[in-house]
Amino acid sequence: MTTNDVLRNLTEYNIWANWRVLKSFDRIEGDLPDYAQLMFSHVLNAQAIWIARITGTKSPVTVLQRHTLHELHQLHEQTSAKLAEIYDQADDAELNRTIEYTNTQGKAYSTKVQDILTHAINHATYHRGQVARELRLAGHEPINSDYVTYVRIRYGQDLEI
């Protein structure tokens, strides 16, 4: 498997894992645990911000903007697949293109597109773990969003969805 295959798998995994978190939120009666909602909002906000940086557009969200469940579904639809699309449409020159941007604290950086995509997925995985912890602390069973679970399901070794 090449590095490109790994990144393609990770972008597809990210769509699946974010969808799983949303499905677990859908099953919660009443209000979502506050910090879980904030952290998953942050996951999707960060995706939107990175997409805006890559595409040279203005982000529609801020880094810690909180969203309703309905808005989370919409933002997932707008951003998770877009990261995979950016990857799928990129050639080597695009993946190695350096993006100049200013972070949320006003510090200037430059980062390659492939590193941004890898970061966005890794960042989401980290915060999905925080969401799972918060759900458990609030008495809810968190969903399994592990990469290996995704691979098992993808290749028919596990029928859990």
**Residue 86 belongs to a domain with what CATH number?**
1.20.120.450
- 161 domain residue, yes or no: no
Is residue 4 over pLDDT 80?
A: no
Cα separation of 106 and 69, whole Å?
Answer: 30
Residue 124: both structure tokens together = 């989401």
Q: How far apart are CA 22 and CA 27, in angstroms?
A: 9
Confidence of residue 157 (pLDDT cuts 50, 70, 90): confident
Lowest mean pLDDT among 5-9, 22-26, 100-104, 133-137: 5-9
Q: Is residue 123 marked as binding?
A: yes
pLDDT exceeds cutoff 60 at 1: no
Tokens of 43: 């996951």
How confident is the model over 11-29, as a mean pLDDT? 97
Residue 64's pLDDT is what?
96
Q: Is residue 13 part of a domain?
A: yes
Only one residue has tokens 């390659």, namely 112
Residue 93: the pLDDT is 97
Do residues 135 and 36 make contact, with C-beta atoms less than 8 angstroms apart?
yes
Query: Given this model, what pLDDT does residue 5 score?
Result: 84
67 is in an annotated binding site: no
Tell whether 160 is covered by a domain. no
Q: Could you tell me if residue 91 is inside a domain?
A: yes
8 is in which domain, residue-wise?
3-155
